[in-house]
Amino acid sequence: MPNFSEQNLTKLYYTIGEVASMFEVNTSLIRFWEKEFSSINPKKTNSGKRLYTPKDITIIADIYTKVKVNGFTLDGAKKSLAKKPLIKEQKLDSSEIIDRLIAIKSQLLRLKSN
């Protein structure tokens, strides 16, 4: 089982070795996933070292879960990740939703009258 926890991501950047250790996989698998999944975009130093952000690591965790735990094929994981929004939506309470809907309604009514 991987040693990954989103709460433990305290650094700005992680090396490929650190990321591979988190998921108990070889660095070659991380590089392979980087080529297969365009959503993984590590920064590279002048010497070519990969530096992964916590966002990259979260995406790798999703890929790991889908492929290694749930048994998805790479194509299946790609399709599943394409459906999932990368940015988690902010949770709104009912009064905020109502306020937004009222604003949208008024905009639509103005457009209709023009």
Spatial strand order of the sheet with 43-44 comes to 14-15, 50-52, 43-44
d(CA 111, CA 114): 5
Give yes or no for residue 23 having a pLDDT over 90: yes
Task: Give the pLDDT confidence of 63-94 residue by residue, as tens digits.
Answer: 999 999 999 999 999 988 887 654 444 555 67
pLDDT of residue 87: 46
Give yes or no for residue 7 having a pLDDT over 80: no
Task: Give the pLDDT confidence of 90-100 residue by residue, as tens digits.
Answer: 555 677 778 77
Cα four-point dihedral sign 2, 18, 80, 68: negative
81 membership: H or E segment, kind and range = helix 74-83
